[in-house]
């Protein structure tokens, strides 16, 4: 249960966190709830969502949703409008990582990678941006990766999608300037989460095995900071590196 003394900076705000069943999403949900927000936890794994909701208490609600579905963005907006009426904060955190060289990339994984890491994020951002603009206020935070800035073998599709997401996010911020809607981008460095599970299952070392990585709470702190901005301030872009990373 979140202590009431922690409910301060985001008191009364309604927030959505995608990919909330583990990792950065779960850590972010904890931070937002601790700051006073009502949080909708969105992911596919109902059991994990319900466990986290029980931990967070009355401030949390859950939505079991496959963000790889064609209608996922609209379904999320409809659910949020039904439960909250007005959404103040949208955290597009959900993502998947697939890395392979040209000779071994599984083309069956291409469309899910595009949909979850880019298409659904764009659709969701646009739908909620329109609603937030009509309300005169809101905060959208899109999670990218430092992979968007790296050119390394095996990362062309993942890094390319993150780079495209960064361009979209920057333009969305510009288009919403003066509307009361803040848009921000957070690009984490190596953070130990389940995103590396697919690599490890295929016998590849996870990127978090090469250096001492960050933990999800490190990124969640940055998300909270972005959401706490007031007045004319908009924390538009944050890159969070592990101290041992030298990119």
How many Cβ atoms are within 10 Å of 24's Cβ, its own excluded?
Answer: 29
Please provide the distance, in angstroms rounded to a whole number, between the alpha carbons at the two ends of the chain: 39
Identified catalytic residue from 28, 123, 145, 158? 158
Q: Tell me the longest C-alpha to C-alpha distance in the chain.
A: 55
DSSP secondary structure code for residue 147 in this structure = G
Q: Kindly state the tokens that stand for 212.
A: 């001492």
Q: Which of 194, 195, 189, 246 is nearest to 218 (CA)?
A: 189
- Tell me if residue 118 is catalytic: no
* Chain centre distance of CA 23: 10
Give the Cα separation of 122 and 115 in Å (integer): 9
Burial of 44 (0-12, 13-18, 19+ CB in 10 A): middle
- How much of the chain is in helix, strand and coil states, percent to nearest 5? 50, 15, 35
**Residues that are catalytic:** 158
């Amino acid at each position: 249960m979140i202590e009431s003394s922690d409910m301060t900076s985001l008191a009364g705000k309604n927030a959505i966190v995608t990919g909330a069943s583990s990792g950065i999403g779960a850590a972010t949900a904890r931070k937002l709830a601790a700051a006073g927000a009502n949080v909708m936890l969105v992911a596919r794994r109902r059991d994990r969502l319900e466990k986290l909701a029980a931990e967070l208490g009355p401030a949390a609600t859950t939505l079991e949703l496959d963000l790889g579905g064609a209608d996922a963005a609209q379904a999320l907006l409809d659910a949020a409008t039904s439960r909250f009426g007005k959404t103040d904060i949208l955290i597009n955190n959900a993502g998947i990582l697939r890395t392979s060289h040209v000779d071994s990339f599984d083309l069956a994984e291409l469309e899910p990678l595009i949909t979850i890491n880019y298409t659904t994020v764009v659709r969701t951002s646009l739908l909620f941006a329109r609603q937030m603009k009509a309300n005169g206020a809101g905060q959208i935070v899109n999670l990218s990766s430092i992979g968007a800035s790296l050119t390394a073998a095996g990362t062309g599709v993942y890094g390319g999608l993150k780079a495209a997401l960064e361009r979209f996010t920057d333009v969305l911020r510009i288009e919403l300037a003066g509307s009361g809607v803040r848009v921000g981008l957070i690009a984490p460095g190596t953070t130990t989460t389940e995103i590396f599970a697919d690599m490890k299952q295929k016998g590849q070392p996870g990127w978090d095995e090469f250096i001492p990585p960050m933990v999800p709470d490190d990124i969640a702190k940055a998300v909270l900071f972005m959401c706490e901005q007031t007045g004319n301030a908009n924390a538009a872009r944050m890159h969070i590196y592990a101290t041992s990373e030298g990119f």
